[in-house]
Amino acid sequence: MHIPPRVLTVAGSDSGGGAGIQADLKTMLALGTHGMSVVTAVTAQNSLGVQGAWELPAEAVRAQFRSVVDDIGVQAVKTGMLSSAELVETVAELLAGLRVPVVIDPVGVSKHGDALLAAGALDAVRGALLPTATVATPNLDEVAQLTGIRVGEEADMRRAAAAILDFGPRWALIKGGHLTAGDGPGDSAVDLLTDGTEEHWLRAPRHDNRHTHGTGCTLASALAAQLAKGDTVPQAAAAAKDYVTGALAAGFRLGAGIGPVDHGWRTRGAH
């Protein structure tokens, strides 16, 4: 009997299915792994934004985590929305007891600009959560939130990565999708993966598609799935970049706002 690699997401629920737990599980399935979940918060969310969010008690988060890890086991973990210092510290304590790759997506703001992390939780993210990470995957807004560094061009990404690495993750993947696009047809979306010694610049063509809801969750989940399958960090990051680029290119409009990326793009042969 074939048992697929098992990957755990610790994140918030997106009722619209575009990001959060829902995007994580779709990504994990698409990449041939078995996804499991620890729900940290429930959101009322759609293509227009987040209309409400309700954090779960730390006791409920801890119980879900132990239930999955102690019985089924995990080969990799990915974290997303952890809205309070208490939840950040609870999850960091749980992760410290594992010996598997951990991908930390330090979610601070939604695609629509809604705050998803309390200001008081930033110190806990820096001091407790990031040190547990095999890879941390902040976007440029999250880099600014955590380090104060504003990235305006590619050259700034090295400084941003160094600042994130100072908090203790083994690798930093700085997502440059928010950099201002160039004018030429060859313009690309670029991410920087580094452990402070090795550097890997991951480039992909930009696509004329505004339906990008869930890209950050998808990239981090794809990275965790590939690590669970035995990839090295650079291999996993390259594969994750390829997956999210295809999903973004095939993204579709749902609702009146920013639609989700398409996790079924490979199944349908979309390019």
Active-site annotation holds for 212: yes
The residue annotated as part of the active site, out of 43, 132, 217, 241, is: 217
Selected catalytic residue, list 176, 214, 246, 251: 214
**Could you say which of 132, 212, 218, 245 is catalytic?**
212
Active site residue 217: yes
Q: Indicate if 267 belongs to the active site.
A: no
Residue in 216, 246, 251, 259 annotated catalytic: 216
On whether the CB atoms of residues 14 and 48 are closer than 8 A, the answer is no
Catalytic residue from among 9, 79, 215, 218 = 215
Catalytic residue among 78, 111, 175, 241: 175
**Helix H or strand E encompassing 172:** strand 171-175
Q: Residue 40 in 3-state DSSP?
A: strand
Q: Are 109 and 144 contacting, i.e. CB atoms less than 8 angstroms apart?
A: no
Q: How far is CA 131 from CA 51, 96, 194, 209, in A?
A: 32, 9, 15, 35
Catalytic-residue membership of 216: yes
> Cα–Cα–Cα angle for 25, 27, 33, nearest 5°?
75
Q: With contact defined as beta carbons under 8 Å apart, do 185 and 149 qualify?
A: no
| In the block, residue with structure tokens 């930093």 | 172
Residue positions annotated with a catalytic role: 175, 212, 214-217
